[in-house]
Structure 1
Amino acid sequence: MISFILTLKRLLSAVIRIGKEPLFKTLLLTLAIILLSGTMFYYGIEGWSLLNSFYFAFVSLIPTGVNTGLMPEATISKWFTMVYLVVGIGVMLMLIMRLGLAIIKFEKPEDKEVESKK
């Protein structure tokens, strides 16, 4: 339990730190729009609940092997899902990468050299 709390603290401090960067804000807004469009599409076309629609839209974009138990049935939904995944996975991975770098406080070697010269 202690390790979970420490990890959560580290994650939140990284989100606060990186939340000030324009690139992170843009990625987060883009991802929110993609998730909203996916959620509304599956809610409207497939007739899933809002929670199931959001869950499928979100879990589809993260690099895991989670079986949601949901599968698009309509032909238009299958086409939408293919395009949705191509666009959404790239944005999600970029966001996860930026967040991961913030968590480990990654610094480029050039940044360290500049700081040491000051």
Structure 2
Amino acid sequence: MRSMRIHPGVRGLVRAGSVPLLLLVAAGTARAAGPEFQYVGRDDKVHGLSGPTGCVEAKGGGFRAVTNATGSRATLYREPGCKGDAVAVLPPGGGGQIQPYFASVRFSFITKAQQP
């Protein structure tokens, strides 16, 4: 997994947690080629998922950046296998710094009845 959307010069700022939320949202909604779901992992590296569906292992959080440019809602869970408490829910195009850590993400298609 590699990043094509977050500029290498910005990665250090993202890892340090000093990137403004507005920049994170802009990075998450950009339609450049590359992964649609990105996060800074517990290893301080940027990870990306292209076309994710269902439950996917993803270890990140702890005030690190996450962007969801998929067409699905992303629910982040503390435990692997999308079990345990949900840490956060990111709508399509959402992003931010997630606290606390997460171990997996479930991608769910949003129907018109579920849209605001």
Which structure has the bigger radius of gyration?
A: 1
Bigger helix share: 1
TM-score tier (shorter)? under 0.3
Q: TM-score, normalised by structure 1?
A: 0.22
Higher RCO structure, 1 or 2 (CA under 8 Å, sep 6+)? 1
TM-score with structure 2 setting the length: 0.22
